[in-house]
């Protein structure tokens, strides 16, 4: 699958007469890197490729059946866990053998930020010493967290966000029942990553957001207290709430500095942002921004936290702005 916003990149990728040994596709989650490198791998292995793989040759058939001997997938043994040294050793063994079809051997290694130190070092050797006609296709959502020794040995391919028109037409086509306002909110909530939007919809994100923003307004008007709102918000993932709270506070600060109406974020909290920007000084806003940033990092690192207490502490911080 090559998404409409990837067409230009795709044409560039296949236009080269010679291929590099290792490619690193980098960009945010939800932009379709996975689908793109599979198309690229299939085309590399296809016996009769056009713009894309032919889908009828022996190689394409084997790929469809998931039994092609010349492709290797490097992934963690368990979803979300790190990629261990044993997996990389299997990859090295795969690269040491000759290809079954006398063509390329292709490795697909996604989210290589999940490599631990040992497995990253082991992979490094494969990147340094290309064995035969092999091509490694790597992806990462966090290029900044990779070892420079890894990134410097790959051809870096930036996977960009779709334009506003591209993402709008994609969502429109996929979810024709959504209103323009809902699409705008969803793009904002997915931070511009089109493929995250379907996930967000499955998780009732619009309803959750309404619970969050209505709850905050009630809290600021002292219609409910921190404990009550804390209980209501328990049904929403903690990281989502921390992200929304952090975004809100950042916008309050920015609006105070710039008075820029374009930077108010989602319409449901725009008035709150304006009001709180007028009511608070820079120091107080920054203190809460910093606090939220620390909490966000702890949640991301899955530190040992009590979600209920943390949520209440977060609401108390926000309350102090009122
Ligand atoms: Zn083919």
What is the per-residue pLDDT across 94-104, written as a single tens digit (0 to 9) for each? 999 988 888 89
Both structure tokens of 180: 């323009």
**Interval 184-227: pLDDT, tens:** 999 999 989 999 998 999 999 999 999 999 999 999 999 999 99
For every residue of 9-24, DSSP letters joined together read: HHHHHHH-SS--SEEE
Q: What is the pLDDT of residue 253?
A: 96
CA 130 to chain CA mean position, Å: 29
What is the CA(104)–ligand 1 centre distance, in A? 13
What is the CA(48)–ligand 1 centre distance, in A? 5
What is the CA(105)–ligand 1 centre distance, in A? 15
Both structure tokens of 288: 């809460």
Q: What is the pLDDT of residue 217?
A: 95
| Local confidence band at 282 (pLDDT 50, 70, 90 cut-offs) | very high
On whether the CB atoms of residues 51 and 14 are closer than 8 A, the answer is yes
What is the CA(130)–ligand 1 centre distance, in A? 25
What is the CA(19)–ligand 1 centre distance, in A? 18
What is the CA(34)–ligand 1 centre distance, in A? 19
Question: Is 90 exceeded by the pLDDT of residue 17?
Answer: no
By C-alpha distance, which of 61, 91, 58 is closest to 73?
A: 91
What is the CA(102)–ligand 1 centre distance, in A? 14
Q: What DSSP state is assigned to residue 302?
A: T
What is the CA(35)–ligand 1 centre distance, in A? 17
What is the CA(266)–ligand 1 centre distance, in A? 46
What is the CA(70)–ligand 1 centre distance, in A? 14
Where residue 102 falls (left for φ over 0; alpha for ψ -120 to 50; beta otherwise) is left
On whether the CB atoms of residues 5 and 194 are closer than 8 A, the answer is yes
What is the CA(27)–ligand 1 centre distance, in A? 28
pTM of the model: 0.81
What is the CA(65)–ligand 1 centre distance, in A? 13
Q: Hey, which bits of the chain come out as E strands?
A: 22-26, 71-74, 105-109, 134-140, 155-158
For every residue of 136-189, DSSP letters joined together read: EEEEES-GGGS-HHHHTTSEEEE-PPPPHHHHHHHHHHH-TTS-HHHHHHHHHH
């Amino acid at each position: 699958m090559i998404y409409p916003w990837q067409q230009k990149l795709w044409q560039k990728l296949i236009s080269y007469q010679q291929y590099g040994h290792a490619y690193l596709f980098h960009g945010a989650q939800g932009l379709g890197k996975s689908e793109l490198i599979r198309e690229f791998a299939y085309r590399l292995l296809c016996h009769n490729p056009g713009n894309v793989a032919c889908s009828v040759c022996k190689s394409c058939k084997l790929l469809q059946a998931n039994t092609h001997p010349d492709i290797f997938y490097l992934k963690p043994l368990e979803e979300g866990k790190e990629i261990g040294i044993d997996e990389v050793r299997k990859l090295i063994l795969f690269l040491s053998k000759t290809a079954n079809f006398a063509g390329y051997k292709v490795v697909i290694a996604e989210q290589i930020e999940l490599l631990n130190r040992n497995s990253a070092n082991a992979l490094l050797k494969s990147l340094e010493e290309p064995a035969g006609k092999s091509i490694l296709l790597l992806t990462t959502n966090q290029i900044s967290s990779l070892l420079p020794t890894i990134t410097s040995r790959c051809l870096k391919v930036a996977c960009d966000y779709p334009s506003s028109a591209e993402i709008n037409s994609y969502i429109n086509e996929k979810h024709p029942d959504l209103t323009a306002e809902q699409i705008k909110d969803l793009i904002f909530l997915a931070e511009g990553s089109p493929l995250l939007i379907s996930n967000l919809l499955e998780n009732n994100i619009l309803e959750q957001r309404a619970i969050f923003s209505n709850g905050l307004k009630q809290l600021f008007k002292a219609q409910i207290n921190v404990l009550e709102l804390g209980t209501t918000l328990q049904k929403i993932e903690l990281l989502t709430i921390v992200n929304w709270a952090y975004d809100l506070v950042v916008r309050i600060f920015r609006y105070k500095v710039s008075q820029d109406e374009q930077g108010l974020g989602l319409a449901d909290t725009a008035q709150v942002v304006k009001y709180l920007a007028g009511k608070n000084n820079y120091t107080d806003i920054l203190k809460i921004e910093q606090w939220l940033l620390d909490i966000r990092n702890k949640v991301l690192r899955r530190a040992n936290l009590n979600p209920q207490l943390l949520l209440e502490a977060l609401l108390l911080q926000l309350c102090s702005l009122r």
